[in-house]
Structures are given as C-alpha cells and as structure tokens.
Structure 1
Amino acid sequence: MNQLHNAFTLFMSLLVEAMPFLLLGVLFSSLLLLFVDERQLLAKLPRHPLLGAFIGSSIGFLFPVCECGNVPVARRLLMQGVPSSVAIGFLLAAPTVNPIVIWSTWSAFRDRPEMVVLRVVFSLAIATIIGWVFSAQEDLKPILQPSVVRAIPKAAPKREKAAIASDSPLLQSGTFLLGEPGKPMRLDTATLPPVESATAAPPKGWMGKLPLKYPIDARRWRLFVDNTMAELRELGGVLVLGSAIAAIVQVAVPREIILSLGQGPVTSILAMLVLATVVSICSTVDAFFALSFASTFTTGSLLAFLVFGPMIDLKAIGLMLWIFKPKPIAYILILAAQLTFFLTLAYNLKIA
C-alpha cells in the first residue's frame, strides 16, 4: 500500500510538473497553425539537410518548451510541410537549447560552468546528426502516424530539391486547418467569409459553429482556442499514460541498484542513461536532480543524464507515438543513446 501511495504521488508530481509545459507547446503549435504563413516559413528554412538540421536544433532557443511541449510544435511543423531534418532537430534539441533550461542548469552548477556549455553543445550536436540522418528519408509517410500524414498538405514532388511549384496548395492560402474527416482545410476567405456576408448561409462542418457576426480576427482567435483544446486532449492522454509508467518504474526499481554503478566511467554513464529514461523529470528542473548525484557519479554521467533525458524518456516516447510509428522512434532512441554515450565517455576519459 505504501508503494502504491508513493507511485501515485510521483505520478501526480510528474503530471503537475509537465502539464503547464505541454500547454505551452500546444499554444505555440496553434499559433503556428493559425497565424504563421507557411509560404514565409518554408522560404526561410534552409534546404540543405545538415544546415536544416542545425537550424531546426537551434530555433529551440526561440521556443522555450520542455520535452512535453516540443512534441506538439514539432508535429505542427511536420504538418506544415517543413523538412524532416528541421522538425526532428527541433524535437530533440528544443527541450535543452532554450533560455529557461540554460538558466536552470547555470543555477544548479554555478561552480561548474562547463556543465552548461557542454550540455548545450552535446545536445546541438546529437540533434543535428540525427536530423541529418533522417533527412535521407525523402518520403515521410512510412514513418509518420496516419493522422499526421493526412494533415500534411500535398506539395509538388521533390520540393526539397527544387522550387515549390506555383500550383502547390501551400501557395494557395496562408495556413491549413484539420477539418473533417481529418483532412487539411484551407484557412482563407472561402473558409472564413468576410463580415459583410453575415446574412449568407453558414459554412458546413465544424466551421459553421462560429458566429458569423464576429470579425474575422475574433473568429480566428476562436479557432485558435478550439485547436488548442483539441490538441491538449489528444496529447494530454498520452502524457498521463507516460507519467503513470514512469511512476511505476521508479517505485518498482530500487534506486540503490543504480547508485552502486556510479563510479565507473562506463557503468556510471549507462546507469544515468537508464535513470534519465525512467525518471522522466522535466528539463527545466532536471539539473537540480542531477546535482544530487554530483558527489557519487562521474561528470560525464551527469552530462549523459542532462543531455539524453530531455530527448528520450518515457513521457517523451509516449508523446512521440502521436507523431511517429514505433520503428523510427526506436531508431531515434538508439542513435541518441549511442551518441550521448560516446560523447560523455570521451569526456570522462579526458578528465580521468
């Protein structure tokens, strides 16, 4: 009974800690959906796979979201047709490469500033490499969930290698909405009639629920709220499941087993990789958790926890399943784990 109580307490703490950041990510996602013109977004993103992966990893600095909030933003980027290297780079790096996490890491390790620098550098490097690897997958349909594939606007073939054709749907309106039955719907004057047409027949589908007497800007904000609520319901359910699994694992596995492995340059990293996966602490506060192990674990293993945890943990895996099929998630997990292990092991051996 005591273990059950502890598991419930951990579950609630994870959920309360993560939900605000998930909401923040959903808000950014809805802003991209309704207020960002894909034509300008796509025009400014680099087409080179490696450069695109690096830019995608870096723009997390503009979106201060953790590993819960980055998933809906990355999903929206893919729905808007951005290159896979950009979206995956953002997905993996945004939880670490943002001002909030950098500030919290500095607060925890004031006497060890190299921890802050190496955390950002390693995260950027790993996210860029993985995004670059996934850029080889030109057709994303085999690795994406069907709901995401249906929402991606159809563009000209090989648009990442050539200019976008003038008849591309992306050039016919500013943005797309997910209509019924799960197909993209253009948000333009045909979808949002002008105020003067208030006497006309209401549009079909869920758009018809919007009062036509509202100004276009007000109805656009109403759509923003509706989309935010819809995505929060979808991703919130997955977050609840991931938090429950993480809480059960933390209670079932004795922490002493992991702590006993903390002194070896290799075993300490492996232990921290496992701990980062199962503990699932938000990236905005995980530096303080890692600080509690500073006296018993190697510096490289602490870096492994701070770099790998925000990319891959049980909550993040559960949320990624809303974007990708299980096989590509396994590839991302293996690549991230290997790159984190080799980089942090090199650091351990250097300072040994």
Structure 2
Amino acid sequence: MISSNSLIDKKEQRFRSLAFVTIIIIYLLILAGGIVRSTGSGMGCPDWPKCFGRWVPPTEASQLPINYQKIYGAKLKGEVQFNAVKTWIEYANRLLGVLSGFLVFATLLASFTYLRKDKAVIWGSLTAFLLVGINGWLGSRVVATELAQYVITIHLLLAILVVFALLYSWIRSNVYQLDLETINPTGNTLRWLLGITMVLTIGQIVLGAQVRDSLDIVMKRMGYVQRDNWVSNLDWRFYIHRSFSLVILAFHILVVYQVRKWNRAIQIAKLTNGLIALVLVEIGVGVTLAYFSIPAVVQPVHLLLAILMVGLQFSMVLLLTPKLIMPRDRSNVSISKSTVWKTH
C-alpha cells in the first residue's frame, strides 16, 4: 500500500518538475519575442487575437481578400505588405505565449499540494499566473499601439517578473532538499552586492530596448543597403549601453571576489562561475552586434543571455536570504547532504 506521505512527495515532485519546465518555456517565449523583434515581424499579424482575420494565418497573399492592404493599411500607415515568414514568426510567438499561459495555470493548480505545508509556494505561482494574464493582454496592446516602444519595454519587464515569481516558487519548493544552516555574516555583503548588480542589469536590459528602438529608426531611414553604417548612426543610447556593460562586468568581478572570501559557499561559488561565464559571453555577443553589422540571428541571443543573467542573480539572492525561502514551520524542513551552504 502506498502511504499518504509517498503520494504527497510525488505530487510535490510533480510540481517542481512542472515549475521547472514552465520556467524554460517562459525563457523560450522571451527568445521568441526577441526573434520577432530582430526580424521585424512585430506586425506580421496586424490584428489580435486573430491574424489577418483568421485563426490559422495565411501562407500566401492569394488567401487574403483582394483589398487586404486597404483593410489593414490605414492602421499601418499604408505600409502593409504580406510576408508569410514574418506572419508565421509572429503567430508562432503567440502560440508559444498561449502554451506558457496554460503551463503557468497548470503550475498554479499543482502548487496547491503545498496548501498546508507552505502557502508561499502557492502565492508565488498565483503571482506568476496573474502576471502572465496581464502580459498576454499587454501583447495585444503591442499590436494595437503599432509597436510603441514603452509598451514593448513594459511587456519585457513583466516577462522578467514572471520568471522571478516562478523561480521563487520553484526554489522555495526545493528548500526541503537543502541544508539551511546559519549563513556566515559576510553573506550580507554578497547578497546586497548581488541585489545591486541585478538592478543594474535590469537597467541595462531596459536601455538595450531603447537602443533597439533607435536601431529601428535608423533602419527605416537608411534601409538594408547601408546595413554596415547602422551602428555609426545610432544615437547616444547605444554608446551608454556599450560603456555600461563594463560597469556590469566590474560588479560581477566584485561578486566573484566576495565569494572567494567566503569559503562556505560551495554551491554559490558554482553559480557565480556560471554567472560570470554568462556575462563574458554576453559581452562577446554585444561586440559581435557592434562590429559585424548587427546580425539578426544574434540579437535575440543577446536578449536571452541578459534574462538568464538576471534570473541567475535573482536565484542567488534568494539562496543567500534563507528567511525568504524558508517556511515558518521549520520542523517540516528536511536536511539533506546535498547542501547549498556547506562548510569545509
């Protein structure tokens, strides 16, 4: 006979697995959004939620009304021209958004396993669900406002908050497999340093979105024939964004220095190594964009790496702040040998 505790353990494991998969899908959704932006497919579907008035987008212009340019041209200032590739890129992004919504909802339902054990897991999942709903509506506003920059930026920031909410629930649900010993006081400095670094990184992401907006303006003015001259025609936002990457790097070096001083943080040190690797790759990708005429295939990677950095920073801040991830009833917390904070 299977005990009730065994069934609860399986349900909790199911939640953790589902939450982890959902986090991955949200990251893929952010990547898809980057692809939409880099390929200029944001208005590939000029209406919402349908695409050219259809639930299944057309694959060629002959499937559209003869006067489709007149129907949609007023909204797009007469510049509408059917492009099957851009249409399906935008529609695939929408489908991935729907999938992520269902997964976040399923994660919320699965989180009720923790109703008696730790309600914070449920609150985190509920927050993610509400934010996904708001962001889905905001996606419609992106189309309605004809890709207004401020709407796109808010859309991106909400996606980051969704990642944060899911990470919080996932990490908190895993707290029962962690050793939550008292942390060395030097962890306070590291935690604050990581928090500041995370805020600065988010600021860099917002600034990067502004650079992308200025790039759109340059592209429309100069056309693809002068692609090699795009970067040199960008405004001050690009130069601040480029220089600020060195500030971000400097803060991460300080994080590494603090971790080296703190010999208890074995797993934190591993996460820090992964974080600094992401920073270096991100800077390399930025150099590629600046000196190789902004390849479209590299742009979404640049965004994805930045969001991965922020997610890892947030996770490390949580792990360094036990009171945020420990349930009030600590008697339920099991101590395992696979620890996050482990003495030599």
Which protein is richer in helix relative to its size? 2
Q: What's the TM-score, normalizing by structure 1?
A: 0.26
Q: What's the TM-score, normalizing by structure 2?
A: 0.26
Structure possessing the higher radius of gyration over alpha carbons: 2
